[in-house]
A and B are shown apart, each in its own frame.
Chain A
């Protein structure tokens, strides 16, 4: 805007000063973020005696397992591809559930007065302060056949439901763990939304649903994309939830990495992690590209 020219030089100096101040952080980030990643890549492309190899990578794509189909015939499946697709499916379901649950919560939060907002925020954050294992065990006691839900059901005279060890139980666990990561980015875009825009839409003939469809939703898309990224990525690579709540019936890619690692198969574990990372990077890239394309019309 109408700034005097001299400010430009000053700004450059400031940026230079900022960079110097950032140096310790840059070093820290290099040491604790880049170096471990480099090690993962290094292990992924080497064998037990640290010779370069594609063996681990190709094993991920080619390893097969015999499995009995329902009709009794034996089929051969690509082990890790199937595990990956299963992880993707569960993660996608959990993300969708998080979005459907989180969107109205975020909206209500953003539109409440400051005190209610703070309370809701705390309520949403509290589970995050609790250990992940404890949370998962808590869900076992709630969901198991003799658990809280079934005792409540039988108390009111309804027949019990079998949840533990099903896909539903795994999804419940994932949704519980990752819901805050969906709500927070949604809440942050919605809180910034100008109430006047919603009033303007009403003024121009939109009913409640029209306002949601034509103004609130399009303006919240960046938050939706962020929320999906924040939930989808950790839930793809999640482990333990599936072991405990799924009774080990839903072996996920995170469990595979953990399994290979505990079996001291470090190189193959690294290879799975590496491939997962690349796939997630591609995922994120596509999302970023989609948002940018949407924003392109705005800039």
Chain B
């Protein structure tokens, strides 16, 4: 696969705040790449740098082998789907989609043909004459995608495009976007704070925090092999426990040795141990490698989410078997349930469920949150 975009040592500050801190990233042709992180992590700024709306303070943006730092947005072969679509209210749906072609002064017949093709792709034929305000959020979203794709960019940038849609519509649009990406073969760079969205849609996920890339990888690797406590916590639920590696493939938690699949640490090195809630087996206390007392049980539909006090550290466990609050249970961990990470700046900040807070579900833009509520 060919690199289509290379970011080299990008740094960008707004006043005192460093939004992007020495970020380097390769984007390959035809891939669906997601920039994932909480609000304020710099993912949107990075997207705007690629789009040409912000200039990096340091570093180079390379597009198909050419440095494009000084190329203005309108000359870049890159198009953007904006957060709240940014459709032109003074133009009807046809003219919105035709907008970039009119700028190129293409003949009317070609414009008609290409707009019609786009309308077919986003399933909006018959809406040509409608006004923007008469469309639902999902329909406006599809117009925005059609308008961004009609100029046949090499790369499509999507800035939290689904954040303003309700859950059901969001799921539909996720499938739709994936289908469009496959059908067109255009590279998608997608920005989101929703880890589930990132995992289900992407070929590559880039996890960002405070202006830096924490991890780049396939969704499955990001989930199974998180690099540090931030990634482990941000992607899915994680119990992150202090441990030690007395030797390769053995990990000590709560004074007990567990067989594991990780190695390469200094003997006796302190580590962070990630245990996913769904990987914990509940057994009879006598048969357990560890024991704990169930402190709360929440019914989640498919499973129960229970919080278990294991020697003072609160574990989250997901189980399909019912256990009662106050019950003492045994815990077993298979070697592949244990993932060992080096200590990092994020150690000790995440992964304890003693004060349980849900995943990052915040929407970065307060107006967006209001819009989502209205719909």
Give chain A's interface residues, CB within 8 Å of chain B.
Answer: 1, 194, 196-197, 199-207, 210, 214-215, 218-219, 297-299
The distance in angstroms between the C-alpha atoms of A202 and B74, with both chains bound, is 5
Q: C-beta contact mask, B85-107 vs A, less than 8 Å → 1, else 0?
A: 01111101000000110111000
B51 neighbours in A (Cβ, 8 Å): 203
Sample 17 A-B pairs with CB under 8 A, ordered by A number.
A197-B86, A197-B89, A199-B86, A201-B88, A203-B74, A204-B74, A204-B79, A204-B148, A204-B151, A205-B74, A205-B103, A207-B72, A218-B90, A219-B90, A297-B90, A297-B92, A298-B89
Residue B345 interfacial (CB < 8 Å): no
Residue of B nearest to A196 (CB): B86
Q: Mark B206-224, 1 if CB is under 8 A from A, else 0.
A: 0000000000000000000
Q: Which residues of B contact A205 (CB under 8 A)?
A: 74, 100, 103-104, 151
* Beyond A203-B52, A203-B74, A205-B74, 8 extra complex contacts between A and B, CB < 8 Å: A199-B80, A199-B86, A201-B99, A202-B72, A203-B51, A203-B78, A205-B151, A297-B92
A200, A203, A298: the one contacting B90 at CB < 8 Å is A298
Give B52-69 as 1s and 0s: 1 = Cβ < 8 Å from A's Cβ atoms.
110000000000000000
5 closest cross-chain pairs (CB), A and B: A200-B86, A196-B86, A204-B100, A205-B103, A202-B73
8 Å CB contact of A298 from B52, B133, B148: B133
8 Å CB interface, B266-287 against A: none
What residue of chain A has the Cβ atom nearest to residue B131's Cβ? A298
B18 within 8 A of A: no
Q: Residue B82 at the A interface, CB < 8 A?
A: yes
Does A200 contact B103, Cβ atoms closer than 8 Å?
Answer: no
Task: Report B-chain residues with C-beta under 8 Å of the C-beta of A1.
Answer: 374
User: From residue A39, how far is it (CB to closest CB) to chain B in Å?
Assistant: 44
Chain A residues, CB < 8 A from B74: 202-207, 210
B84, CB-defined interface residue at 8 Å: yes
Contact of B227 with A by CB under 8 A: no
Tell me, rounded to whole Å, the shortest Cβ–Cβ distance linking A222 to chain B: 10
Given A199-B86, A200-B86, A204-B79: A299 and B72 interface contact (C-beta under 8 Å): no
Task: Give the complex CA separation of A105 and B170 in angstroms.
Answer: 42
Chain B residues within 8 Å of A, Cβ to Cβ: 51-53, 72-74, 78-80, 82-84, 86-90, 92, 99-100, 102-104, 131, 133, 147-148, 151, 374
Q: A203 to B73, Cβ gap below 8 A?
A: yes
Q: Check if B103 sits within 8 Å of A199, measured CB to CB.
A: no
Give the Cβ gap from B108 to chain A, nearest Cβ, in Å: 17
Query: Does the CB pair B84–A196 fall under 8 Å?
Result: yes
A288 to B73: give the CA distance in the assembly, Å: 37
Q: For residue B83, which residues in chain A have a CB less than 8 angstroms away from its CB?
A: 196
Q: Are B103 and A206 in contact, CB atoms less than 8 angstroms apart?
A: yes
How close is B6's CB to chain A, nearest CB, in angstroms? Answer: 21
The residues of A that contact B89 with a CB separation of less than 8 Å are 197, 219, 298
Docked Cα-Cα span, A245 to B131, in Å, equals 50
Among A200, A210, A218, find the residue whose CB has the most chain B CB atoms closer than 10 A.
A200
Complex-state Cα separation, A210 to B75, whole angstroms: 13
Smallest CB gap from B53: residue in A? A199
User: Given A202-B74, A204-B151, A210-B103, A215 and B86 touching (CB < 8 A)?
Assistant: no
When C-beta atoms are compared, the residue in chain B nearest to A295 turns out to be B90
Contacts of B52 in A (CB 8 A): 202-203
